[in-house]
Structure 1
Amino acid sequence: MFAMARLMVIGFVVLTIVYVCLSFYSRAVRRGKLNAKWDEEGMTGDKDAWVQEGLKDYDGSLRRKLILGVYIIPVILMITIIYLTNFS
């Protein structure tokens, strides 16, 4: 039982590191796309405020929530493997 708890804690830490890295990467890509769109369309006004507004919209988007699959998919996969190993 202690081995399972240790596996879960280490797995949670690793998945959290992956989630944070993926979140930062995805946000940086979105920021780059917003900056490119600003430059491409030749908009006027405050560029930083426009980019921040776009990132605020991104924070509520479905793509941002799909990154939580980093936690869900490995857990479901592990449960399925354990079940199939023990009860098949």
Structure 2
Amino acid sequence: MALLKLTIPVLAGLTVIYWCLTMWFRAGERQRLEARWERDRPPLPQHTYVRNGIRDYDAGLRRRLVLGVYVVPIACLAVLIYAINAT
């Protein structure tokens, strides 16, 4: 029961962090794509160029964020709990 009391708030907090980081990184990438469009002036309209760039960026971003926000902290917490209980 104690593990459940710990797990739910931790997952809720990590989910909030995940979504905040997703929005922040996407906003930065959107700005970079808009600046690149202004500089290079490709034949595509700006909104299409940015939308395609964000779609490509999201695939790699999602994997990195899941690893960094969920897997690493949960693994560290599991190791910590194991080390405390094993000794």
- Same fold judged by TM-score > 0.5? yes
Report Cα offsets for 1:40-74 as digits up to 9, x if no partner: 2233441001100111111222x331011201111
Give the match for residue 66 of structure 1.
64
Tell me the secondary structure at the aligned position of residue 70 of structure 1: helix
Provide the C-alpha distance between the structure 1 equivalents of 2:25 and 2:50, rounded to a whole number of angstroms: 14
Provide the C-alpha distance between the structure 1 equivalents of 2:78 and 2:57, rounded to a whole number of angstroms: 32
Alpha-carbon RMSD across the aligned residues, in angstroms, is 1.3
Alignment-mate amino acid for residue 85 of structure 2: N
Which structure carries more helix by proportion?
2
TM-score (norm: length of structure 1): 0.87
Q: Which runs of 4+ in 1 moved over 6 A?
A: none
Q: Structure 1: state its 5+ residue gaps.
A: none
Provide the C-alpha distance between the structure 1 equivalents of 2:31 and 2:62, rounded to a whole number of angstroms: 16
Provide the C-alpha distance between the structure 2 equivalents of 1:74 and 1:22, rounded to a whole number of angstroms: 15
State how 1:1-88 maps to structure 2 within 5 Å: 1=1, 3-61=2-60, 63-68=61-66, 69-88=68-87
Tell me the secondary structure at the aligned position of residue 42 of structure 2: coil
Aligned residues: 86
TM-score (norm: length of structure 2): 0.88
- Cα shift at 1:87: 1.6
Provide the C-alpha distance between the structure 1 equivalents of 2:63 and 2:31, rounded to a whole number of angstroms: 20
Provide the C-alpha distance between the structure 1 equivalents of 2:22 and 2:13, rounded to a whole number of angstroms: 14
